[in-house]
Amino acid sequence: MNITPVILVRLIQAANDIIEQNADEVAELDRAIGDGDHVINIQRGLKVLVEQREEISQLEWIAALNKIGMLCLSKIGGASGSLLGTLFIAMAKNAKDKTLDVAVFAEAFKAGVEAMQLRGKSEAGEKTMLDVLIPVSELLQQKSTQLAFDDLLVAVKETAVLGMQSTENMLATKGRASFLEERSLGHIDAGARSSQLIICAIADELQKAE
C-alpha cells in the first residue's frame, strides 16, 4: 500500500473533526481525574495543523512528520505537547532515508512510542495515552506484514479501543491523577481516549483511501 503525504490533508482534518465532536466528553474525563485542560491543548495543536495542512502535505514523509512534531512541541501545551512532539520527531528520525511502507511505518511508530516512554518515564499500565499507543505499536510490529492493509486497520482500531477501555480500571501513577490514588479507579484516562479517537479517525480515512 503506497500512500503519499497528500493524504495528510484528510488525516489532519479527520483528527481535528473527531476531537471537536468529542471535546465535551474528553474534557469531562480530564476534569474527573486530571487538570481539565487536555482537550483544550489538543484542540490548539490540531487547529495549527489544520491551518498548515496543505503545506505539510506537500512535504516528503520525513519532513512532514518532523514538521508535525515541531508544531506539537511548540503549539500544544502541557505534557501532551512534549510527548506528541517527541513521537513524531522520533518517527521521522527512524524512517529517514527509507521508503515509507507499512513495515517501515510500524518500525518508526515503535521508535516514536519508545521515545515517548523515555521522555515521560512511563510504561503501559499507568493510565496514560501510552495504554493505547503501546498496544497499537505492538500490533503493528506483529501484524504489519501478515495482514491485508484493510484488516490491519480494523485490528488497529480494535486494539486502540481496548487499550482506551483498559484504563478505566487502572490506578493512575502519573500526573495529577496519581494524587487521587484509588479514587482514580473507574475513570477512563482522557489522553487514552483522545489518542484512541484520533487513531480510529485516521484509520477510517486510510480505509477510504484504499
Q: Is the predicted pLDDT of residue 32 greater than 60, yes or no?
A: yes
Q: What is the pLDDT of residue 139?
A: 98
Burial class (CB in 10 A: 0-12, 13-18, 19+), 154: middle
Beta carbons of 35 and 176 less than 8 angstroms apart: yes
pLDDT band of 80, cuts 50, 70, 90 = confident
Number of other residues whose CB lies within 10 A of the CB of residue 97: 5
pLDDT band of 97, cuts 50, 70, 90 = very high
Residue bearing the bigger pLDDT, 4 or 88: 88
Among 37-41, 86-90, 133-137, the range scoring the smallest mean pLDDT is 37-41
pLDDT band of 180, cuts 50, 70, 90 = very low
Domains and CATH numbers, the chain: 5-209 (1.25.40.340)
Q: What is the pLDDT of residue 175?
A: 58
If you ran DSSP here, which 8-state letter would residue 175 be given?
T
What residues contact 75, with CB distance under 8 A and at least 6 apart? Answer: 44, 45, 48, 81
Chain position carrying cell 503501546: 134
Q: Is the predicted pLDDT of residue 179 greater than 50, yes or no?
A: no
Q: What is the pLDDT of residue 182?
A: 59
Q: Measuring CA to CA, which residue among 201, 206, 33 is closest to residue 128?
A: 33
